[in-house]
Amino acid sequence: MALEKPAAEPKPTAQVVSYEDDEEAKAGVDIWKYVFGFTEMAVVKCAIDLGIADAMASHPEPSISLSQLSSELGCCPSSLRRILRFLVHRKIFRHHADADAYSQTPLSRRLLTRGENSMAAFILLESTPVMLAPWLNLSSHVAGASAGAPPPFVTAHGDDVWAYSVANPGHSRLIDDAMACHARAAVPALAEDCPEVFEGVLTVVDVGGGNGTALRLLRKAFPWIRGINFDLPHVVAGALPPCEGVVDVGGDMFQGVPKADAAFLMWVLHDWSDSECVQILKNCREAISESKSGKVIIAEAVIGEEEDGKLTGARLALDMVMMAHTSGGKERTEKDWAHVLRDAGFAKYTIKPVRAIQSIIEAFP
């Protein structure tokens, strides 16, 4: 008698759970971004130091093999492949598997040591030991700020970032180079998106203008402007070569600002506390007081209360940078800006978004 095969038990139906809907599963993956978050900056810095993007840009063909690239850079091929694998995964370079070759992407072109969109100097500044050390003191500062704990940069280096830069010219140059590369990206966006801001403005004083890159770019977009590049004496001493229509003036914005139709401040006020911003803005208001069309043009981030824009994360990160690297600086909401501008004596203001991390704030006496 043949034995009957028992009927198979029905298999349980698998329950498909979306990764995005399963918070525990997502957390188990996302936490690794924070465990190894430092590696992205470190490997990108490595790529800049090695000159990977520059070597690709100078290669006669659109793509370059690993052997050609390692020979060009004088690098160990196996180590270079691992660096590239990491960066390809983050879409910084492109790998062509059929030819085992690599090519540039729009993101990698921002790692070129020269170029309109290069951010290499900014990355090299932020990845120096000088700028990294304060982060290790962030928690002690937050815990003790109400009791007068010093800012993280002061704890790490004994001076604030400005005094440190005066005493360390090499670091000061890194800051100037970083601000210049940022200006090359931000000023064209400002000029293209808000050209009306400079209509009727004949003279501009760039307060905290660094080596003069921003003002020269403004003159390129608006050639009728005559500009004053105004910064601390040791900063303007290292300004770009003389340029028609631009003069470099050394001074202290807390003491006074040269006269002009408009005062321009880009990424200056976020370095300072509210009371310090009020003092700077009062001096700017005095500088434009003799002009019928006088105004102050501020290029700074404006953090939205319920913002979901693509640059929100960068703006919030920049706020943390201010906490780590300055003695009272911060990124501000529109409400914060309204408070500072009112206390500085400005009657009205407008805010205009541009394709940059900053918005344009026009302040009128």
**Which sequence positions are flagged as catalytic?**
270, 300, 331
Which one-letter amino acid corresponds to residue 202?
L
* Contact partners, residue 126, CB within 8 Å, separation at least 6: 41, 132, 178, 321
Please, which contacts does 240-243 make with residues 24 or more away whose CB atoms are closer than 8 Å? 240/211, 240/212, 240/213, 240/216, 243/212, 243/216, 243/219
User: How far apart, in whole angstroms, are the C-alpha atoms of residue 359 and residue 339?
Assistant: 17
User: How far apart, in whole angstroms, are the C-alpha atoms of residue 331 and residue 321?
Assistant: 10
User: How far apart, in whole angstroms, are the C-alpha atoms of residue 331 and residue 333?
Assistant: 7
Two structure tokens written together for 211: 């080596």
Query: What single-letter DSSP state applies at residue 243?
Result: B
End-to-end CA distance of the chain: 105
- Residue 265, Cβ neighbours under 10 Å: how many? 25
Instruction: Name the E strands within 17-100.
Output: 63-65, 93-96
User: How far apart, in whole angstroms, are the C-alpha atoms of residue 259 and residue 297?
Assistant: 14
Give the number of residues written for the chain: 365
